[in-house]
Structure 1
Amino acid sequence: MISFPNAKINIGLNILHKREDGFHNIESVFYPIAWQDALEACIASSFEFNSSGLDIPGDTKNNLIIKAYKLLEEFIPPKEKVKIHLHKVIPMGAGLGGGSADGAFALKLLNELFKLNLSEELLESMAGKLGSDCPFFIQNKPVFCYDRGIKFKEIDLDLSSYKICVVNPNIHISTAEAYGAITTSLPKNALMDAIKKPIAAWKGIITNDFEEPLAKKYPKIGAIKKQLYTLGACYASMTGSGSTVYGIFDKEIDTKKHFEGLTTWQGQML
């Protein structure tokens, strides 16, 4: 059985304040895009996990797919195990939620493989134990996200007539580094109001609090954003805690010509 965990972008990201539990309250719009990993699982006599594609740094036991399996292990018949293979395509440490998607999709895939019939509500609760972005990928549709990134409100946002160009400058930014660069404050513009405006009006009023300080440290981020606007983007921004920058277009652009040597992906908005 196979599934295809997809990336997401943040349209706006306001860091409101630090919580007593060490997390930060945020507000953002999460929007899924079709840049995908591939995740395959089959029933086996013993547990096995391996991967191909991009090299995944760190200790394998900390991989969210393995943690997802551990969360579901109590529901799986004791004599049944699983073999899981991940083909990694979405860059890591890039603000695209690729690792979070892998963990959440593993929950959904194993739920289907073993016919556990666990509800979306329970899967979202489990995904919250994996990480802040993970619950989003259970329903995987555009939402206004708040709290520490695990509470959502449905929004009426359809960008399916647009194309998106995603550019990763191959700079790995850890969450700790990103949060260390910012100061929290209340946003100048209410995101829920701003997102209802025409996309051409988003520039300057929908912002990512991580972007300015990280662009000062890594000028390539700002240079990519400027280039996307030069090429005709309706809106451009860094996503998540960086370093990936995206542009939303009403036409396709030549990514190889303009972003040679960088990791890029282009496709239709979902």
Structure 2
Amino acid sequence: MLEVLARAKINLTLDITGLLPGGYHQLETIMQSIALCDRLVFSPRSQGIELQTNSPLIPAGPENLVYRAAELLQRITGYRQGVHIFLFKNIPVAAGLGGGSADAAATLAALNQLWSLGLSREELLVLAAKLGADVPFCLEGGTVLARGKGELLTPLKPLPPLGVVLVTPFLAVSTAQIYREYDRLLPGVHPDTPAMVAAIERQDITAVAALLGNILEPVTAALYPQVYVVKEALKAAGAPGVVMSGSGPTVFGLCRDEGEARRVAGRLDPGLGRILYTRFCSQAIKLAVING
């Protein structure tokens, strides 16, 4: 059996720079792995893909990215044996933290090993891009500039284990709906991605906190004003930098270390949403063989 930790991500910056063929949005985003993770356990079986989960909020069939990742590997490689997968869900669902993408990336990496497929990193990244925009990053992890649909990855200088406070309001957001609203509203406040890259290169944490930005934030907040309520609460609690992650609704506060993140989290009203604190992580996936 294999146990895999699939880590969440946050977007330090998220910008849309145009449209790609097929109507996809052209992204420019700096993504960062965080220690918050789901746990997946993979066990071989003679045939078929069986997925179970501890969460009633996510499907356990072909509509789940984990299931689709396993199916994709079978289809591409011709591998005919099966797998049982148990997904212990901990990353908030539909929250802008890439939980589904992280689980799909973990499945690609785990089954490549469990099934002895011998696929290279480059081959896995190509398959990851077929599953979703964030899945390639969730294979790579760390601090990364992503472009295109999210599949063009440029590793950046790793940031230290900064603290992060995550507040996920008690609502779910549809990414597709947010992008449709973006196309309608076309908000004009773009994050300064080159300045953020430069700040990361010189490890200027004060500048990193000041340069956080997400072009989708006003779009999501127009539909769900709670996003701005959470943002102001995090600022008042002492977080040096605050921004929404992905298409939301999770808002995160950037802190100097995990201890500061714990203190900031403790000042927040539990009624704001699910409150978690964690830290930056340089690795997206951790695999371990269990029970031999």
The reply to whether TM is greater than 0.5 is yes
Once the two structures are overlaid, the 10-residue window that deviates more, 241-250 or 227-236, is 227-236
Match status 1:167 vs 2:176 = no
Cα offset, 1:71, TM superposition: 1.5
Percent of paired sites with the same residue:
29
Alignment match, 1:14? 15
Contact 1:51 1:86 in 2 (8 A): yes
Aligned position for 1:84: 85
What one-letter code is carried by the residue in structure 1 that aligns with 2:274? T
Shift of residue 163, structure 1, vs aligned partner: 1.0
Task: Check 1:70–1:188 CA distance in 2 against 1; reply closer, same or farther (3 A cut).
Answer: closer
Q: What is residue 269 of structure 1 aligned with on the other side?
A: 280
- Deviation of 1:27 after TM superposition, in Å, equals 0.6
- Cα contact 2:156–2:197 (8 A) shared by 1: no
Give CA-to-partner distance per residue, 1:122-171, whole Å, 9 cap, x none: 000001110111111112221001111111111114131x2111110022
Runs of 5+ consecutive residues of structure 2 not aligned to the other structure = 282-292
Q: Is the 8 A contact 2:24 2:149 kept in 1?
A: yes
Match for 2:220 among 214, 220, 226? 214
- The answer to whether structure 1 residue 107 and structure 2 residue 113 are counterparts is no
Q: After TM superposition, give the deviation of residue 185 of structure 1 in Å.
A: 7.2
* Partner secondary structure for residue 180 of structure 1: helix
Question: For residue 44 of structure 1, what is the aligned residue in structure 2?
Answer: 45
1:72 aligns with 73
Give the aligned residue type for 1:65: V
Q: Give, in whole Å, the separation in 2 of the partners of 1:185 and 1:17.
A: 13
In the alignment, which residue of structure 2 is the partner of 1:199? 205
8 Å contact kept, 2:190–2:215: no
Cα distance, 1:232 vs. partner? 1.5
CA RMSD of aligned residues (A): 2.1
Q: Which residue of 1 aligns with 2:178?
A: 178
1:241 maps to 247
CA contact (8 A) 1:33 1:269 kept: yes
Could you tell me whether the CA contact under 8 Å between 1:51 and 1:88 is conserved in 2? no
In structure 2, how many angstroms separate the alpha carbons of the residues matched to 1:201 and 1:21? 36
Question: In structure 1, what is the equivalent of residue 231 of structure 2?
Answer: 225
Partners of 1:54 and 1:140 lie apart in 2 by 25
Structure having the higher helix fraction is 2
Tell me which residue corresponds to 1:95. 96
Q: CA deviation at 1:48?
A: 3.8
Measure the CA separation in 1 of the matches of 2:166 and 2:209.
17
Structure 1 portions without partners, runs of 5+: none
Aligned length: 268
Shift of the alpha carbon at 1:187?
A: 6.4
1:196 counterpart letter in structure 2: A
Q: Do the aligned residues in 2 keep the contact of 1:17 with 1:185 (CA within 8 Å)?
A: no
CA distance in 2: counterparts of 1:189 and 1:46, whole angstroms:
48
Distance 1:167 1:115 in 2: 39
- The match for 1:158 is 159
Contact 2:239-2:264 within 8 A present in 1 as well = no
Structure 1 contact 53–89 (Cα < 8 Å) conserved:
no
Helix, strand or coil for the counterpart of 1:177? helix
CA distance 1:77–1:193, shift in 2 (3 Å): same
For the Cα contact (< 8 Å) 1:191–1:206, is it kept in 2? no
User: Could you say if the C-alpha distance between residues 203 and 33 of structure 1 is closer, same or farther in structure 2, counting changes exceeding 3 Å?
Assistant: closer
